[in-house]
Structure 1
Amino acid sequence: MSVRLTGFAAGYGFRFDPFQLEACADIDAGHGVLVAAPTGSGKTVVGEYACYCALSEGRRCFYTTPIKALSNQKYHDLVERHGSGNVGLLTGDMAINGDAPVVVMTTEVLRNMIYAGSRGLGTLGYVVLDEVHYLSDRFRGAVWEEVILGLADSVQIVALSATVSNAEEFGDWLDTVRGNVDVIVWENRPVPLYQHVMAGHELLDLFGDDRARVNPALMQLAKQEARAQRDDSRRPRGRNGRGRRTVTFGSGQFGGAASGHFTQRHAEGPRLTPTRAGTVHALSRAGLLPAIFFIFSRKGCDGAVRQLLNSDVRLTSRPQAAQLREIAERHAAALSAEERRILGWHSFVEALTRGVAAHHAGLLPTFKAIVEEGFTAGLIKVVFATETLALGINMPARTVVIERLVKYNGESNADITPGEFTQLTGRAGRRGIDSEGHAVVLWQPGMDPRAVAGLASRRTYPLRSSFSTNYNMAVNLVHTVGRSKARGLLEQSFAQFQADRQVVALARQGSAVQARADQLWEQARCDRGDFAEYARLREQIGELEDERARLRRQDRRAGVLDALERLEPGDLCRVGGGRHRGWMVVVQAGVPGAREVHPLVMDEKHQLVRIVPAELTGPPQVVSRVRIPKRFTVHSATDRRTLARAFDARVASLDESVGPAPSVPLDEQISAQLDALRAALLVHPCHSCPERESHARLAEQALRLEREQQHSRARGAARANSVAARFDRTCAVLDALGYLDPRGGRELPVPGLVLTRIYTELDLVTVEAIRRGVFGELTGPALGAVLASLLYESRATGPGPAQMPDEASERAYQALRGVWRDVGMVERDHRVERGRDLDTGFSQAVWLWAHGADLATVLSQTGFLAGDFVRWIRQVIDLAGQIGAAPGLDGIGAAKLGPAARSLVTMIRRGIVDVSLGPDD
């Protein structure tokens, strides 16, 4: 052990583990390291050693984290160790001592510094990438690869990861692109973890005495439950036919089966699913508190706290309650009495002083800080949390409780994966405090203990690259190193590294498939001619027919959606086909920006119906206008009759002069090809063969195998240069819209320079809207409302798209939708996946806040949780700040937009938004 390492280790109150010593020695040797170790094992010691080395060498170390909350936490840890003068913090909206030798920052900040060629990189010697397994994140993962590829060769990388099953593969890639990177995998938990199942009032071990087989007592419970279910299923149902209830989500292996194999009894039998209060009491009696209860729902977390408030649960002493109240008052000193009222401060503090709290992304950041400090101090005994708590924040507990092994994954309710289970239970066991950690799964109806044991014993958490070129990345790389070098750099990405390894496996599968196809072609041989040629003619015809139908559907849907969005009350339309063929008048317009636009119309039968896009064969043709009665009410028979008379009169005056609505035109080129192929098919000698259909069945099998083979080869070819090909297509879109040098050089046109500083998912749409003057003379509330539509994404349980708040924002939003559609057409032409749609769900909230509305008004009128409101407002602040600081706005006719954007930031960064240091989780 070197003298420097010995001095460093002396500053800690525990003896370093072998993996920590090995990793620190590698840093001393001038190597980069990848350390993959369980949560709570102390791998951050290795990152802290990099900071120590930088200070001793007179160089700089950047300590990067994926979320602001973790950056804040790490900043305070390093300040305590090295002093505030040596440590800085940069998180996008927070800058403290940014020129310090050790700076903690979010990974995005470092990425932006690399692209900007920041002078701060000049003396950089070390970069710590904490929680580097975030590069699997499909939304933000690319940032880690951009940083790894973009840092100077002289920088030593210290990558810290949770336990992943392919750490060696990731390490091989790091060594390939960085050189001299050592991989250290440590699978020993510093605190042993024991698995349990809580059934009824009893806490049972998941595994038997030999730690290999499932506890027989759990298997017996499952059998008893299944037997009771079978007895109950033979009972006749009541008059209402219900009698039983089937739980409808998940695969069923952990309980709650969608398949319907399990039916929960209501009337008889012991209750095996424990109550929350009962579970808390049981854990308290067993000395297993503090505990984190993972509930995969924000409302579920808040509801659980209310349940315990309504029970006899009290887990703190009077001195502890007083300490918690002091922590709460200290953090919330800036909150007004009215803000406290709307935020439910009294209930929050009441639960807190009992030792109970919730922690989730919808919680106000101030409340989160209170919970985190109280829990870390050992004062809070039970926290109900969503899985975001498992993503790096240092809040370990003695016990982790998982209520259900099913969660909503953004599309449906699905079983949690072994990797997610490992990540969640990794919070159990506090190093230096607990001799062991405990993971408890609550019994659910229909639970299979063997499946739970399989989940708990597996450690499959593979690291998969989510790297994909976006527009901002492309312009920055081209501007920094040129297009050719940028392409070569992207070919070195981890995504490409993994893809290349898969190409070999695909090639091995091909030979067997081709051999079987050759056998089938031999059996389909025809004495009248080349049946393979005939079969391929048939296949071509089928493919072209499918392609024509697909294009018709695609074009029709795009046209229908666009037309429906433009409809206004009073528009008299003609529909050429489908369920609503004929005349109709629009009574209420649809909601712009909604996932489906469903305007309310009166049809020829004088019925009021909602138009669904799928029910139309083509876009409605606006022919004229009908006056809608003032204060028209859909429930008023008089109003409907008045409208019907006006409707009929207007139609009668037009019917003879207006022809039928045009149908969707066919693709003439495809139609001509089809005519030629059908003619060739009819004269082919095999067409008259009496065994034609028998041969055709064999040929179809052979063709299917050949298609599989072609697809396999295409996948291999695509993977062989997938990242570079995506970069080429992205650049083609940028070329088409004038963002890159047409001569292929590094110098960017002014729009490209603006784009280099816009970091958002719809970056290109944002800059194109600026170029076209969409934001024009917008200021304050209207500007904030329109910018919000570029950022916000509706959740299944949160506010969805709504009308824009005023005329100015509505006009700008409609123009912005036009830009979004136009960019989408260019993306389609160059086979680039279209950016997500605009969403107006947060626009009203920004508009109200920018107008000076208080928090109570905003939350009551929009339905947002306080934490979500603060989080989305901060994203609007971030985008407005990017626009306000972007270079070259005057060069694209947007000189006034910069001051307007900066003014908006000042306007909405007030009150609870300004005092809350919001994590970006």
Structure 2
Amino acid sequence: MLLGGASGVEKVSLSEFFDALPFEPDQFQVEAARSVEKERSVVVTAPTGSGKTLIADAAIHINLERGMRIFYTTPIKALSNQKFGDLAASHGEGRVGLLTGDNVINRDADILVMTTEVFRNMIYSDPDQLEDVGVAVLDEVHYLQDRTRGAVWEEIIIHAPEHIRLIALSATIANPEEFAAWIRERRGKTDLIIEEARPVPLESLYALNDKVNRSTELQPMFGPDGTPNRRITRMLETQGRKTRYRTPRRIDLIEELESHSMLPAIIFIFSRAGCDAAARGVADAGVRFTDVEQRAQIREIVDIRTAHLADEDLGVLDHAGFVTTLEAGVAAHHAGMIPAYKETVEDLFTQGLLKVVFATETLALGINMPARSVVLEQLSKYVGDGHALLQPGDYTQLTGRAGRRGIDDYGYGVVLHTRFVDFIEAASIAAAGTHPLRSSFRPTYNMTANLVANYDRDEAYRLIGASLASFQHHDREDELQSVIDRRSDELEHEWSQATCDRGSILDYLALLDSHEDERSGRVLLDPGDVVDIPDGRRSGRYVVLRLTHRSGKRHPGHLMMSTKGRVTELSRRDLGRSFQVSGRVNLPRPFEPRSRRFAQQVLRSLRKVPAGQGMSSESGRKVDHPVAECPDADDHVQWARRALSTQRRIDQLVKEQQKRGTENLVGMFRSIEKLLTNWGYIEGWSLTAEGERLRSIYSETDLVAAHSLGDGTFVELSAPDLAAVLSTLIYEPRSDQVSPPIFPTAASAAAWESIESIWEDLTATELDARLPLTRRPDPGFAVIAHQWASGYLFDQIDPGPMAAGDIVRVARQLLDVLRQVRDTAPELAPAAAEAVKAIDRDIVAAQGVG
């Protein structure tokens, strides 16, 4: 029996479900459940912790009574694992299943929990298996705006069989009516349920340290009329007292929170290293929130959660330090931690055994960790090329965890005073409200192949036009498009100048950058070096006095003295790329760069150094690469750097274009269709054998992967070599810097050259077609992948700058790709299966249901 698809559907009352609850449900929960009972789709927007999942529980009750299956989707595996455990505990393990790619448990169960991508793949590959599904829950549906994965939610909403009702659960957003109207247009009868009230009221506080009274103060951020607290304004602006207040020390703040019974607290620090250092610092300072019995409980839970890890792995992870910090009742939580450690912290915090957790913003997604207080140490975070203030709605999202329902009368959001963001600006961020939900949808190669396979051309065009992006579409802004076109023309010219017939300029550039990193930015720049800068605003001759280090700067600067005796600090950017070191002088002792006598001695020595052709920062660095022998190598490098900069500017413009809804999605789809036709994946309106393979490859680099499979790039590779090469398709470094192409074997290096050639051909075609450029495959994980697939132990791997949690995460992504290759390329199935078995072990292996 299909839900809503036949007459005589049994009307199941919700009264027994609500009567069994140990509490009175909120009105919005009842209204949403009634909508489900009436066989309508429903969009629910409500604050974090308000009980949206109770609506899903009611839907499960209704549909089980009607003999229908229920799908429950989440954006990440950890949430799927958590929800699987919750539902198995309440409905019995026999009725609940899990599909995440890592795990397949009871896939025919009445209640099936899965990641969103798994549901999308089922819709495309075998929609007949969905006939007995009555309802699909889309938890955390506001994830739809995620740049890389958000389109999956739209694909589900557009393509799911019509008989399936959707329950879309979202955090508060600024445009719920628009979002619900779009779903109503796609799915038919749809109700919008909005709950704006937090289950626990939030009080926003401003924390300052008073240097005069040597105390930390917590002041209300807003007055009774909702405007910024004038008392704080007066405190900070009083004449003669401008430096009286400063940022509170962590220990002082935590003690202040404890004295006001405002723990447990989550303290957001937008840096992994910052979280680790903060947790260690608090524990090392002797702060203890636990007694003997609690510390024993902590150790027991840690032992259970980490029982699968070998002693050697624990040694690499500094397990003893991790446990010591936990025993103090303090922890860090971020994406760089291995899953077992993150889950341990989550378990201990929910059990009340931790009082302070320092976390990055990744904690804001879904994981159930409510606290009494949420602290924001900063109102800005690093965004790739600098720091930016939090966006409107970020404060609301981050403080959504403040206040435990049924425990706390109030939740507290605490912002720390800082000289970098004035109080009025901080208050405006805190009062900014919520984010509007914006579509990130655009056609992909895999999506296009699946549309060709499942629909005729006109229907495919109609479905592309049915996206939320099209629904939010406004008139095209010609000026923005013309800028993109002009920049694209510049980019084409720059790449033509950057191209060298002796080899890959990108590989050469990566080696140059790697060479700079190895020297930590100290290329020929030691104290006493005489430096000639031939051009730029800092042109002239200088002597290096000493290196300088500033917090947040990746490379050191240099304190220098000019030929006029002026002492100034020059950054690497000030030096440029054509500076030369013309000699050395001995610096006087004692080192007193501001004294006249010191300067006179240095200048006398400096005048004795003749002008010469010293080693330059760029040309003097010889690396083992064919491009290095090209007489125009420096010019090629300069053009390549300019092209990369232009590409970043184009990407920013395209993002802005997507924000405004100005992308012509149907036009883009037609361009992709034409490209796939020219590349041999589509013939007429049918898929070729290569097109059928593309249907089953889900990756940002899907077409590069499919083409590599088709041209035999991976044939005869060993399992470790296959793992190393495939890792280039999924690995993304945390910075914009290109990873050097280092491979452990000649076979894997040759395969990489083939992949890179395919990518270069593809991006050239995309550039001509005005399509978004496919992300460059990156070889930065290849050596680690090869070592792990070869049986290395974790303590035998050189991780470089990668955190253990990042290695595990990328390895698990690699497993997904290996399984796709195993299932779509029979000739590679033995090697791919061997690689899966070799990688899915020890610290990388999924534990329990995770």
TM class by shorter-chain length?
A: 0.7 to 0.9
Partner of 2:113: 104
* 3-state secondary structure, aligned to 2:218: strand
Distance 1:492 1:749, change over 3 A: same
CA–CA distance in structure 2, aligned partners of residues 152 and 546 of structure 1: 42
* 3-state secondary structure, aligned to 1:441: strand
* 3-state secondary structure, aligned to 2:97: strand
1:416 is matched with which residue: 384, 390, 415?
390
Distance 1:273 1:730, change over 3 A: same
Residue 823 (1) aligns with residue 762 (2): yes
CA–CA distance in structure 1, aligned partners of residues 12 and 706 of structure 2: 54
Does the Cα contact within 8 Å between 2:216 and 2:252 map onto a contact in 1? no
Larger radius of gyration: 1
Distance 1:342 1:545, change over 3 A: closer
Residue 336 (1) aligns with residue 345 (2): no
Distance 1:728 1:276, change over 3 A: same
Distance 1:75 1:842, change over 3 A: same
The one-letter amino acid of 1:556's match is: Q
List per-residue Cα deviations over 1:196-216 (Å, max 9, x = no partner): 011113342334551523223
CA–CA distance in structure 1, aligned partners of residues 437 and 500 of structure 2: 41
Counterparts of 1:287-306 in structure 2, within 5 Å, are: 287-306=261-280
Q: CA deviation at 1:447?
A: 3.9
The one-letter amino acid of 1:903's match is: E
Residue 186 (1) aligns with residue 195 (2): yes
Distance 1:563 1:842, change over 3 A: closer
Partner of 1:914: 845
The one-letter amino acid of 2:808's match is: V
CA–CA distance in structure 2, aligned partners of residues 219 and 545 of structure 1: 47
Q: CA deviation at 1:782?
A: 1.4
The one-letter amino acid of 2:820's match is: Q
Partner of 1:348: 322
Partner of 1:812: 751
Q: CA deviation at 1:861?
A: 4.8
Counterparts of 1:450-461 in structure 2, within 5 Å, are: 450-461=424-435
List per-residue Cα deviations over 1:448-495 (Å, max 9, x = no partner): 222222222221310000001100111011101133211111111111
Q: CA deviation at 1:914?
A: 1.1
Does the Cα contact within 8 Å between 2:502 and 2:627 map onto a contact in 1? no
Partner of 2:667: 725
1:210 is matched with which residue: 218, 224, 227?
224
List per-residue Cα deviations over 1:179-224 (Å, max 9, x = no partner): 1101111101110000101111334233455152322331123214
CA–CA distance in structure 2, aligned partners of residues 211 and 558 of structure 1: 63
Partner of 1:790: 729
Does the Cα contact within 8 Å between 1:136 and 1:466 map onto a contact in 2? yes
Does the Cα contact within 8 Å between 2:203 and 2:413 map onto a contact in 1? yes
Does the Cα contact within 8 Å between 1:334 and 1:915 map onto a contact in 2? no
Q: CA deviation at 1:780?
A: 1.8
Partner of 2:796: 857
Partner of 1:147: 156
Partner of 1:779: 718
Q: CA deviation at 1:863?
A: 3.3
1:281 is matched with which residue: 239, 248, 255?
255
CA–CA distance in structure 2, aligned partners of residues 744 and 391 of structure 1: 40
Partner of 2:475: 503
Counterparts of 1:488-567 in structure 2, within 5 Å, are: 488-499=462-473, 502-503=474-475, 551-559=492-500, 563-564=504-505
Q: CA deviation at 1:870?
A: 0.4
* 3-state secondary structure, aligned to 1:904: helix
Does the Cα contact within 8 Å between 2:452 and 2:460 map onto a contact in 1? yes
Residue 376 (1) aligns with residue 385 (2): no
The one-letter amino acid of 1:783's match is: L
**Number of corresponding residues:** 711
Q: CA deviation at 1:154?
A: 0.9
CA–CA distance in structure 1, aligned partners of residues 487 and 319 of structure 2: 60
Q: CA deviation at 1:798?
A: 10
CA–CA distance in structure 2, aligned partners of residues 830 and 351 of structure 1: 55
Partner of 1:26: 35
Does the Cα contact within 8 Å between 1:75 and 1:88 map onto a contact in 2? yes
Partner of 2:335: 361
Report % sequence identity: 40
Partner of 1:872: 810
Partner of 2:95: 86
Partner of 2:707: 768
Q: CA deviation at 1:795?
A: 1.0
Deviates more, 1:205-214 or 1:116-125: 205-214
Partner of 1:754: 693
List per-residue Cα deviations over 1:291-343 (Å, max 9, x = no partner): 10011011111010111121121011222111111110111112222211111
CA–CA distance in structure 2, aligned partners of residues 563 and 151 of structure 1: 44
Residue 902 (1) aligns with residue 842 (2): no
CA–CA distance in structure 2, aligned partners of residues 877 and 91 of structure 1: 12
Partner of 2:170: 161
* 3-state secondary structure, aligned to 2:393: helix
Partner of 2:69: 60
Distance 1:343 1:622, change over 3 A: closer
Does the Cα contact within 8 Å between 2:384 and 2:736 map onto a contact in 1? no
1:439 is matched with which residue: 413, 429, 451?
413
Deviates more, 1:464-473 or 1:901-910: 901-910
CA–CA distance in structure 2, aligned partners of residues 786 and 848 of structure 1: 12
Does the Cα contact within 8 Å between 2:671 and 2:771 map onto a contact in 1? yes
Partner of 1:480: 454
List per-residue Cα deviations over 1:594-640 (Å, max 9, x = no partner): xxxx99x9xxx997656589xxxxx979799xxxxxxxxxxxxxxxx
Does the Cα contact within 8 Å between 1:870 and 1:918 map onto a contact in 2? no
CA–CA distance in structure 2, aligned partners of residues 607 and 769 of structure 1: 45
* 3-state secondary structure, aligned to 1:873: helix
Partner of 1:14: 23
CA–CA distance in structure 1, aligned partners of residues 469 and 206 of structure 2: 39
Partner of 1:739: 681
Partner of 2:590: none
Partner of 1:572: none
CA–CA distance in structure 2, aligned partners of residues 544 and 50 of structure 1: 49
1:220 is matched with which residue: 216, 220, 234?
234
Does the Cα contact within 8 Å between 1:222 and 1:448 map onto a contact in 2? no
List per-residue Cα deviations over 1:325-364 (Å, max 9, x = no partner): 1110111112222211111111111111111111110101
* 3-state secondary structure, aligned to 1:48: helix
Partner of 1:846: 785
List per-residue Cα deviations over 1:652-701 (Å, max 9, x = no partner): xxxxxxxxx9xx9xxxxxxxxxxxxxxxxxxxxxxxxxxxxxxxxxxxxx
* 3-state secondary structure, aligned to 2:463: helix
CA–CA distance in structure 2, aligned partners of residues 799 and 311 of structure 1: 40
Structure 2 residues not aligned, in runs of 5+? 1-10, 210-214, 510-533, 535-576, 581-611, 621-625, 640-652
Partner of 2:137: 128
1:170 is matched with which residue: 179, 182, 192?
179
Q: CA deviation at 1:104?
A: 0.9
Distance 1:778 1:220, change over 3 A: same
Partner of 1:697: none
The one-letter amino acid of 1:214's match is: P
CA–CA distance in structure 2, aligned partners of residues 359 and 554 of structure 1: 42
Does the Cα contact within 8 Å between 2:29 and 2:54 map onto a contact in 1? yes
Distance 1:349 1:99, change over 3 A: same
Partner of 1:396: 370
List per-residue Cα deviations over 1:56-93 (Å, max 9, x = no partner): 11101101111111111111111122111111111111
CA–CA distance in structure 2, aligned partners of residues 549 and 370 of structure 1: 51
* 3-state secondary structure, aligned to 1:139: coil
Does the Cα contact within 8 Å between 1:356 and 1:381 map onto a contact in 2? yes
Partner of 1:250: none
Does the Cα contact within 8 Å between 2:103 and 2:849 map onto a contact in 1? no
* 3-state secondary structure, aligned to 2:13: helix
